Structure 1
Amino acid sequence: MTRDLPPFQTVSTGLVVAMVGFFSSFPILLQGMHGVGADTSQAASGLMAAAISMGLAGIVLSLWTKTPASVAWSTPGAALLAVTAPVEAGFAGAIAGFLTAGALTVLAGLWKPLGRLAAAIPTSLAQAMLAGVLLPICLAPVTAVAETPKIIAPTLLAWFLLGRISRLLAVPGAVVVAAVTIALTADLSAWAPGALLRSPEFIMPEFSLAAVIGIGLPLFIVTMATQNIPGIAVMRSFGFAPPPGPLFASVGGFSILSAPFGAPATCLAAITAAMCSNEDSHPDPDKRYWSAVFAGGFYCVLGLFAGVITSFASLAPPMLMAAVAGVALLSVFASSAAAALEPVRTREAAALTFVVTASGVTVFGLGGAVWGLLAGGIVQILREAGWGRG
């Protein structure tokens, strides 16, 4: 009978995974939701919905497939939202974009042609789009430390020093130092206990072309290219072979369910999938899925405290949370930029995608990510057709 009980080692691994996954990226998620028009109450609801959604999805998928199907919110997608101009309907329009991205993910999982089309987008162009999205966010710490060095410098110093010890400690450590900075510099009397107790807030979506194409489509592409597809690849590298289609459809379904409460996108994880899948999770590969199950449970618990976390973060001095988000994404920016420019065959198109995306240009209500991918795609198509070859 004891043989069927989950090993204790997977409980500790699940806790570490949840703490790293949540505290290393929740500032980015908050930045993203605020970027597309969410107020503090809506952001708290979105953070709660996102954490509970990925927690439940991780539990269900791991128990179903008996694989460490670690699930996350889309950190690259949140970064995309942080630099996307709000649509006319505000956060209600963004919700429509979230629903669109979720529906496309479900369709990609159930209808193979769409899944193949999403996978056919050159990885270098998708990475270039992501790098262009991340550049303004990664510049925030530089701007912030120049404006208020006494407030920002301790957080950046903690991130740098802890990063020399362990990359996994760097961002959570920076978040802790940022929290101490808030406690020392903010007016905590404004942190009223009544404001900490929040319930999920339903937001009626308002669909528009700008919401669907300007938010939903880029969110779908960047999440598929940088989270869902790599998440499958990570699990396969450790010898696990879950069916991609049902997993994509499942996380897309959880995205649809959580979107009306403010959650941008639920997706397969890559980094935490590796933490759940390796031998440190458990020596027996058949037991490792329990790490993802427990991580899901801890994500749900953290989600219940979203109001506390969001309310406290709202007390942060100007630029502090933006600086934390910037350092959290620096390594992602470095890897995406390197992946974008490495292949010679797509380098010119990737460079154009990066530049147009990073410009932040908005035309016809569509942001730089859409135009960047479109411009790079056209250049690459022309190159493949024989135009512009040297």
Structure 2
Amino acid sequence: MLKRLKLSHLVAGAIAVLVGYTSSVAIIFQAIEAVGATQAQANSWLVALGLGMGLTSLGLSLWFRMPILTAWSTPGAALLAIGLKDVPIDQAIGAFVFCGALLTLTGLTGWFERLSKLIPDTLANALLAGILFQFGLSAFAALNDDTALVALMGACFLAGRLWFPRYTIPVVLLIGCLWAGVSGSFGDMQQLNLSLSLPEPVLPSFSLPVLIGVGLPLYIVTMCSQNMPGVVALRAAGYQPPVSASLTVTGLTSLLLAPFGGYAFNLAAITAAICAGPEADDDPKTRFLASATAGVLYCCVGLGGATVISLFLIAPKALVATIAGLALLSTIGNSLSHALSDSQNREAALITFMTTVSGISFFGIGAAFWALVIGLIVNQLLTTRPTNHPTTTASQTR
């Protein structure tokens, strides 16, 4: 297996971990602060989350030979940052255990896998393109933050596509890091935390209001805003993911690591797209090595705790945004192309894409879920309309 490991696998895995942490670790800190955790307990959360993501990503990728990447529930963390205020930490842990049990039950029953198969491929690709769109856009918006750095990385990207396409992203990342180091764009190195982080369990207690007010919403947003897009990301890349098995594994991991702060694990979408795309490997059959690499790195980050995470936090935001956007360009383009290729489903796919990009949120559930609901309704209405009453287009009325 190691003989098939390529530089592109290593770089894709590293970028996935970099994006995974820098995009949402601040929300984790807010959730930790909301529950009033001690510093030791806060470090324990980071250890549990890193090891949970790493071991599940590594195990699922190697077992199923697919680029299956897991993540902590980012919308779940945002919910916790609000919902855990004035909640004792032992009751919060009880809500995490409850959520983990629900996630495990979902995987064992298999109902979610059956539901995911009802989604047309065009809508799946439109949803993925919409989810990733903001990351692609951020690469260009970063020109305002650090014009020289982003312009240099962009020029290197174009040169790479012309002369060394297989190594484009690794070279762009290297050039970006060198330029950021020389220009002093990295943050204050004195912010590095060199302390060792160890897991520290908290005995859970169960309060019905907290289970209903925190545990149940945590489960719902994790399923709707995280697991569904995670399934879609793999399907759009051409894989048939083992949905029930993956949910069972992530659910059990959530259940076991909940006392240490591992509040909820789920299938990843954005970081999975990095490892499942052509930038990771031209051969889809060996892209699982990229997600396996990410799993190993997640474990290292978890064991390193605050030290490694502080390194992520001092990295220039423009560098992270640009490398993520450029790494996802091919996936965004391919997803949009497939989403709009079928004229019969094109309108529903476009509505799904635009709803996802809009960022709407109702009842604490993000745009990805509502985009899928609206897209399915529109698709059903338009594909079942009577053929003897064709829709009049704007061009026909002119």
TM-score, shorter chain, exceeding 0.5: yes
- What are the residue-to-residue correspondences of 1:73-222 with 2, within 5 Å? 73=70, 81=74, 86-87=78-79, 89-90=81-82, 106-107=104-105, 109-165=107-163, 169-184=167-182, 185-186=184-185, 189-195=188-194, 197-199=196-198, 207=214, 211-222=218-229
Partner of 1:334: 333
Give the residue type in structure 1 aligned to 2:51. I
Give the residue type in structure 2 aligned to 1:56. L
Assess if the C-alpha contact under 8 Å between 1:195 and 1:307 holds in 2: yes
Give the residue type in structure 1 aligned to 2:10. M
- What are the residue-to-residue correspondences of 1:1-390 with 2, within 5 Å? 10-14=1-5, 16=7, 19-34=10-25, 36=27, 38=29, 49=48, 52-57=51-56, 60=59, 68=65, 71-73=68-70, 81=74, 86-87=78-79, 89-90=81-82, 106-107=104-105, 109-165=107-163, 169-184=167-182, 185-186=184-185, 189-195=188-194, 197-199=196-198, 207=214, 211-227=218-234, 233=240, 245-246=244-245, 249-254=248-253, 257=256, 260-261=261-262, 264-266=265-267, 271=275, 300-301=299-300, 303-305=302-304, 307-386=306-385, 390=391
Supply the distance in 2 between the matched residues of 1:374 and 1:337 (Cα, whole angstroms). Answer: 19
Which structure 2 residue ranges, 5 or more long, are not aligned? 34-41, 86-91, 205-209, 392-398
**CA pair 142-263 structure 1, distance change in 2 beyond 3 A:** farther
Give the residue type in structure 1 aligned to 2:371. G
Assess if the C-alpha contact under 8 Å between 2:27 and 2:77 holds in 1: yes
**CA pair 363-20 structure 1, distance change in 2 beyond 3 A:** same
Partner of 2:395: none
**CA pair 319-202 structure 1, distance change in 2 beyond 3 A:** farther
Give the residue type in structure 1 aligned to 2:347. E
The Cα of 1:379 is off from its aligned counterpart by 1.0
* Identical-pair percentage: 25
Give the residue type in structure 1 aligned to 2:13. F
Give the residue type in structure 2 aligned to 1:176. L
The Cα of 1:330 is off from its aligned counterpart by 1.9
Count of residue pairs brought into register by the alignment? 360
TM score, norm. by length of structure 2: 0.68
The Cα of 1:24 is off from its aligned counterpart by 2.3
Give the residue type in structure 2 aligned to 1:326. G
Give the residue type in structure 2 aligned to 1:157. A
**CA pair 158-278 structure 1, distance change in 2 beyond 3 A:** closer
TM score, norm. by length of structure 1: 0.69
Give the residue type in structure 2 aligned to 1:316. A
Assess if the C-alpha contact under 8 Å between 2:225 and 2:365 holds in 1: no
Partner of 1:4: none
Supply the distance in 2 between the matched residues of 1:91 and 1:157 (Cα, whole angstroms). Answer: 45
Assess if the C-alpha contact under 8 Å between 1:191 and 1:312 holds in 2: no
Give the residue type in structure 1 aligned to 2:234. Q
The Cα of 1:364 is off from its aligned counterpart by 3.9
Supply the distance in 2 between the matched residues of 1:170 and 1:319 (Cα, whole angstroms). Answer: 18
Supply the distance in 1 between the matched residues of 2:25 and 2:104 (Cα, whole angstroms). Answer: 26
Assess if the C-alpha contact under 8 Å between 2:17 and 2:294 holds in 1: no
Assess if the C-alpha contact under 8 Å between 1:162 and 1:170 holds in 2: yes
Give the residue type in structure 2 aligned to 1:381. Q
Which of 212-221 and 195-204 deviates more?
A: 195-204
Assess if the C-alpha contact under 8 Å between 1:102 and 1:220 holds in 2: no
Which structure 1 residue ranges, 5 or more long, are not aligned? 1-9, 235-242, 282-287
Which of 308-317 and 51-60 deviates more?
A: 51-60
Return the index of the structure with the highest Cα Rg.
Answer: 2
